[in-house]
Amino acid sequence: MKKLGSITHTSNRGRLILRSNQTPRYGTTVFTKNEKKFGTVSDVFGPTKEPYISIKVYAKNSKNLDDLVGETLYVESKTNKNWGRRTRRKK
């Protein structure tokens, strides 16, 4: 697991906002420190070096989001550089 960042606050739309030093892809699954699926990346905004990440939390994890401020979230580390890219098939 690779550290994504720490939760800074909740949005008025029920999303968690965190600050990160990387830019994940939209839809990337986000995990807790216990490696449980927590939500997905729904938006990336702000400065490119330290963007803000908006996390859409899965329904089962959406209770008391304000209590999660300060927690660290993680993404799965991928070793393949072409992960997520479309490639052409050779005929």
Q: Which CATH number does the domain housing residue 44 bear?
A: 2.40.10.230
Whether 45 is covered by a domain: the verdict is yes
Q: Tell me if 17 is assigned to some domain.
A: yes
pLDDT band of 79, cuts 50, 70, 90: very low
Reported as a pLDDT band with limits 50, 70 and 90, residue 87 is low
Domain containing residue 24? 2-75
The answer to whether the beta carbons of residues 23 and 5 sit under 8 Å apart is: no
| Count of domains observed in the chain | 1
In a domain, 36, yes or no: yes
Q: What is the model's pTM?
A: 0.77
- Residue 90 within a domain: no
Map residue 33 onto helix, strand or coil: coil
Evaluate whether residue 91 is within a structural domain.
Answer: no
Q: Which residues contact 58 (CB under 8 A, 6 or more apart)?
A: 37, 38, 39
pLDDT at 68: 86
Q: Is 65 domain-assigned?
A: yes
Which tens digits make up the pLDDT trace of 13-70? 889 999 999 899 999 999 999 999 999 999 999 998 899 999 999 877 667 888 889 9
